[in-house]
Structure 1
Amino acid sequence: MYRTHNCGELSRKDIGKEVILSGWIQKIRNLGSLFFIDIRDYFGVTQLIFSKKSVNKNFFLGKEFLIKVKGKVIERFSKNYNIPTGEIEISVSHIDLLNSSLSPPFTIENKTDGNEEIRMLYRYLDIRRDPIKNNLILRHNLALETRNFLSKNGFLEIETPVLINYTPEGARSFVVPSRTHINKFYTLAQSPQLFKQLLMIGGIDKYFQIVKCFRDEDSRSDRQIEFTQIDCEMSFVEVHDVLTFFEHFIKHIFKIIKNIQLDPFPCISYYDAIKMYGTDSPDIRFDIPFVELNDLVQKQDINLLKIQELVIGIKIKKCYNIHENDKMNCFLKKIENKNFFWIKYLYDRTLLYSDQNFLNKEIIKIFIKYFEANPGDLLFFSYGKKRKTREEFGKIRLKIADFLNLRNSKIFKPLWIKDLPLLEWEEKSKKYKSVHHPFTSPKEEDIHLLEKHPKKIRSKSYDLIINGIEIGSGSIRIHNKNVQNLIFKHLGLSKKEIESRFGFFVKAFEYGIPPHGGIAFGLDRLINILEGNQNIKNFIAFPKNNYGKDIMINAPSFLEKEKLKELHLR
């Protein structure tokens, strides 16, 4: 028997019991005649106490050695109320060494000295630490709760193929050579998109899958080349149905996993998001939308600004402290944007402002009056071409929020963004591409714009943004074959390309396709934001690094010539 109890369950009620524990040595404290050892397993930590006399002189123990001990539960003299077993310890009568260990390359404790690279190289050791272990437990609980919730609401979990044919979905695909079909390739699925639509055609009413997806993109802190989606699809729905149900789902997850009650989710259009925040993923934890000032600068005849395509500004209420003047000045100097200026309205009612040639006290007073600024307020402005100005000012807005600590990771503000553009122009290929994917339905009232104004067509799409991060994305799908063919045409696909890539799917349109739509949530991102973390790698058991490499197993790697020959690649 390796254990009668685990290392996290013994307490005062067990005092006097003879027990057997097994686990790894986390700490050793040598007090001369006595040894104290903290032994750790998946469930927790228990302190052991034994005398030198009870151990063989040649018996060496070190950190991360795996031991089995027998002993009696006794009351601990110096109690540790921070852990469940902190009121007891084990008076050890016998120790067995189950396995020795090399000295670990970093401290296996909650606060470790290991950097990310070394911890990824020895990920199996990193998983022994509570922060990573608990993240994996949280991931399990989230997946379990997702399955339970969707199943209870009539969704059927169905697996779809991973090895598929190439279809353009916006990102590069990983290709897999076929040994038996010479010069032919599979691709790894970027998503189950077509298959879940085929399931709707097959009469499945509601589908879901917690699924691995693959995209040959650059990795970063919030994106991996292989990732997990909560993938869902529903028949006989419109945008409102999908948004209502999945708002309920996300609220349920936050309540069950974190005991957080979310407010109702506001919903704005893509165009309003760009206009108000300069991004399609706005962070609304701080209520600072852009204010357009073109009418004001025209009316007041402000020389440089009145000739600009766009002038915008924001006001931040009573956040400026005179004692932090040096910090603020240093921050403002770091904002590299020549079409940017600011005004400080100090508590003593004096004004400080950017060193811009066109600014003077009269112009400053115009802005102070327009914004109804009070002492302590800060005003920021940007001007120039519409698209670039909004985009750059959106980034500045976030920098300001970070500097002023306006982004509290314990506050959650979800937001639906809907009516995204259906198509966007790709300069490199000189043709249109889908913003979401080619199967996204356009809004019926915009279909007439296809011939002359494709960029103006809005789609029946929606993104869920939480604290400035895209957590989910979906759309109502096309269920009319004529509309689908029109979209293919405007994407520049020939009949031959349509047949080779989507022939099976187009054929399915001949057999009564129902109206349907769905959404996919990034499981890794959802967990990451629930915990207020900055790196999704902390919630993946064996992640890739920011170069898409698994440095622990050394993947990707070269193949031997014989293997390449077998795959007809040489």
Structure 2
Amino acid sequence: MKRTHYCGELTRAHVGERVTLEGWVNRRRDLGGLIFVDLRDRAGLVQVVVPPESPAFAEADRVRGEYVVRVSGTVRERPADQVNPRLATGEVEVLAEAVTVLAEAKTPPFAVDAGWRGEADPTDRVNEDLRLKYRYLDLRRKGMQDKLRLRHRVIKAIWDFLDREEFIQVETPFLTRSTPEGARDFLVPSRLEPGRFYALPQSPQLFKQMLMIAGVDRYFQIARCFRDEDLRADRQPDFTQLDLEMSFVDVEDVLELNERLVAHVFREALGVEVPTPFPRLAYREAMNRYGSDKPEIGFGLELVDATEAFRASEFRAFRSVVEAGGVVKALVCPRELSRKEVAALEEEAKRHGAKGLAWAKVTPEGPAGGIAKFLPADLAQTLGAEPGATLLFVADCWETAVKALGAVRLELGRRLGLIPEEGFRFLWVVDFPLLEWDEEAGRWTYMHHPFTSPVEADLEYLETDPGRVRAKAYDLVLNGTEVGGGSIRIHRVDVQRRMFQALGIGEAEAREKFGFFLEALEYGAPPHGGIAWGLDRMLALMAGAASIREVIPFPKNQSGRDPLTDAPAVVAPEQLAELGIRVVEE
């Protein structure tokens, strides 16, 4: 007899019904000849009782944890003193009439059963590479099953909303040509054209723009993307993003639609109401106040400009920075910090480019310690610092000063427990610079990508003062993490050519790399723009996970390897020869 119900669905409403269940043995207990089997499937767990006189007893006696079994029996109420309030099925049990072992199982290398019993799951403390090597077992855990369901609900909510908004889902190719997107491409050799390569897409950027040129008008895709870059907790070589594009729109249209989409997704997937509209911060303001273009706004400790206080200071280290056009940024820590704590914060500042971190304590008698003797008498009051606080300073060029002190702010927020653990804090960061100076390369480069539209009023400065040009770009930030980014695109071929020139891409190089796209623009492109959400990042935050690896079914580890399949792997010499590739050992 085939399965009639899922284990986790059984309630008192099913009492008296004969059911057939199929799943895994979560735990087996033998109590004086009476066998209890906790049977588990994706919907949950139910207790199965097998008395000695049952024809199922002999088979039940041999089952062990993680065996796959079929159970037929009758649902009955549990005795009042045996009700388990931690389980959705805790008021009922199944009196077994037949038990069939469908597959035996070895003892797993780590436990997968605790979460299903409503208990703390110790697997989160298991070595991650071991979990990834046996990912099919790891995914049996309730916490991981819950994350898979969350992923499904989020993607379904996206589909439902965008379908109602008359978007069309379109797949774009995985095998394309290499174009600059800000990271290294994964290259795929062509067997039919030796010496030539495809590239896996870092994003569907140019294809979705060409869909707008094609008149699709509203496109979306749950897109797989590939970037060969160093890994962190929020990065993977292959990842998933929500990609969408709209024609005949400007910034406000894209932001308004995405706010409604976010609110819909959180309502449908989590039952959480997200207030709209989202706050907005211009890039410059975000950097000046928080030292980050993806600020965590859930706590204070905002950066304060103290440049003028040191313009005529006797503290030469700061005065020389100010005279050279730099700035002094200050941060008020609400409590006194030890020398050891200041040293740790200074290391954080140095990791982000600062030469050091100056400090002074605020006492009832005035500043003390550190650079206190160089501080104006009223500076602590001006900064709003009360006695018992610690003042922290970074002096450098504007970009380094704000970024370094912004990193110190976040570290202080973690150390002082100021960052809220609950809630979803969305905001938009807007008005980014179009270009930024690459000191190492000695030229201007794009801040987002080379197809971002400049603000029309700034276009006249593209050749004469590139750093002054603002972009029609916007990032979606959630709890201090960038979860989305987009822009209005360049839709005029003459402006796109000027953009390439500003980036040092000559006419010949532009034709070679982007000739197909430039030609497409010549056939009439509507004003258009869009956004991409980092779906894995969004899901990790929604699930309260520390890493996106927790919400990806089969992720790579921190080294970019797949412990499950042992990829990347060596391939046979015959395969390499067929592709015209020779591996050079260094």
TM-score by length of 2: 0.89
* 1:281 and 2:298 are equivalent in the alignment: no
Rounded Cα–Cα distance in structure 2 between residues aligned with 1:96 and 1:230: 44
Corresponding residue pairs, total:
558
Rounded Cα–Cα distance in structure 2 between residues aligned with 1:529 and 1:45: 27
- Partner of residue 89, structure 2: 85
Look up the equivalent residue of 1:292 and give its one-letter code. D
Look up the equivalent residue of 2:29 and give its one-letter code. R
Deviation per CA, 1:496-550, whole angstroms, max 9, x where unpaired? Answer: 3222221111111221111111111111111111223221111111111111111
Cα shift at 1:424: 2.7
Look up the equivalent residue of 1:97 and give its one-letter code. V
* 1:94 and 2:107 are equivalent in the alignment: no
Deviation per CA, 1:56-113, whole angstroms, max 9, x where unpaired? Answer: 3995221101111222222223111111110111222322111100110100033134
- Partner of residue 68, structure 2: 66
- Partner of residue 127, structure 1: 139
Cα shift at 1:343: 4.9
Where relative contact order (Cα < 8 A, 6+ residues apart) is larger, the structure is 1
> Could you list the runs of 5+ residues in structure 2 that have no partner in the other structure?
116-120, 348-354
After superposing the two structures, state which structure 1 stretch, 362-371 or 171-180, moved more: 362-371
Query: Are 2:361 and 2:372, in contact at CA under 8 Å, matched by a contact in 1?
Result: no
Query: Are 1:285 and 1:411, in contact at CA under 8 Å, matched by a contact in 2?
Result: no
Look up the equivalent residue of 1:116 and give its one-letter code. E
**Match for 1:256 among 248, 262, 268?**
268
Look up the equivalent residue of 1:20 and give its one-letter code. T
Query: Are 2:428 and 2:477, in contact at CA under 8 Å, matched by a contact in 1?
Result: yes
Where does 1:387-398 land on structure 2 (aligned, <5 Å)? Answer: 387-398=399-410
Look up the equivalent residue of 1:94 and give its one-letter code. A
Cα shift at 1:263: 4.7
Rounded Cα–Cα distance in structure 2 between residues aligned with 1:448 and 1:478: 15
Rounded Cα–Cα distance in structure 2 between residues aligned with 1:104 and 1:18: 32
Rounded Cα–Cα distance in structure 2 between residues aligned with 1:569 and 1:381: 54
**Match for 1:112 among 119, 122, 141?**
122
* 1:267 and 2:284 are equivalent in the alignment: no
Rounded Cα–Cα distance in structure 2 between residues aligned with 1:330 and 1:43: 51
Query: Are 1:215 and 1:226, in contact at CA under 8 Å, matched by a contact in 2?
Result: yes
Rounded Cα–Cα distance in structure 2 between residues aligned with 1:136 and 1:36: 29
Deviation per CA, 1:414-444, whole angstroms, max 9, x where unpaired? Answer: 2211222222333444433322111111122
SS for the counterpart of 2:437 is: strand
After superposing the two structures, state which structure 1 stretch, 369-378 or 273-282, moved more: 369-378
Rounded Cα–Cα distance in structure 2 between residues aligned with 1:255 and 1:328: 45
- Partner of residue 223, structure 2: 211
Rounded Cα–Cα distance in structure 1 between residues aligned with 2:19 and 2:130: 37
Rounded Cα–Cα distance in structure 1 between residues aligned with 2:572 and 2:277: 57
Cα shift at 1:164: 0.5
- Partner of residue 509, structure 1: 521
* 1:311 and 2:348 are equivalent in the alignment: no
Rounded Cα–Cα distance in structure 1 between residues aligned with 2:3 and 2:259: 46
Cα shift at 1:271: 1.9
Query: Are 2:35 and 2:61, in contact at CA under 8 Å, matched by a contact in 1?
Result: no
Rounded Cα–Cα distance in structure 1 between residues aligned with 2:264 and 2:51: 53
Rounded Cα–Cα distance in structure 2 between residues aligned with 1:373 and 1:455: 35
SS for the counterpart of 1:180 is: coil
Cα shift at 1:385: 3.6
After superposing the two structures, state which structure 1 stretch, 256-265 or 530-539, moved more: 256-265
Look up the equivalent residue of 1:56 and give its one-letter code. A
Cα shift at 1:352: 7.8
Over the matched positions of the two proteins, sequence identity in percent amounts to: 40
Look up the equivalent residue of 1:269 and give its one-letter code. A
After superposing the two structures, state which structure 1 stretch, 11-20 or 216-225, moved more: 11-20
Cα shift at 1:305: 4.1
- Partner of residue 351, structure 2: none
Where does 1:351-366 land on structure 2 (aligned, <5 Å)? Answer: 353=368, 355-356=369-370, 358-360=371-373, 363=375, 365-366=377-378
Look up the equivalent residue of 1:311 and give its one-letter code. V
- Pick closer, same or farther for the CA change 1:368–1:490 going to 2, 3 Å: closer
Query: Are 1:162 and 1:188, in contact at CA under 8 Å, matched by a contact in 2?
Result: yes
Rounded Cα–Cα distance in structure 2 between residues aligned with 1:307 and 1:122: 58
**Match for 2:470 among 446, 458, 467?**
458
Rounded Cα–Cα distance in structure 2 between residues aligned with 1:430 and 1:495: 20
Query: Are 2:59 and 2:99, in contact at CA under 8 Å, matched by a contact in 1?
Result: no
- Partner of residue 511, structure 2: 499
TM-score by length of 1: 0.92
Query: Are 2:366 and 2:377, in contact at CA under 8 Å, matched by a contact in 1?
Result: no
**Match for 2:495 among 483, 493, 510?**
483
SS for the counterpart of 1:335 is: helix
After superposing the two structures, state which structure 1 stretch, 115-124 or 246-255, moved more: 246-255
Look up the equivalent residue of 1:107 and give its one-letter code. A
SS for the counterpart of 1:92 is: strand
Cα shift at 1:304: 5.4
- Partner of residue 331, structure 1: 341
Rounded Cα–Cα distance in structure 2 between residues aligned with 1:370 and 1:303: 22
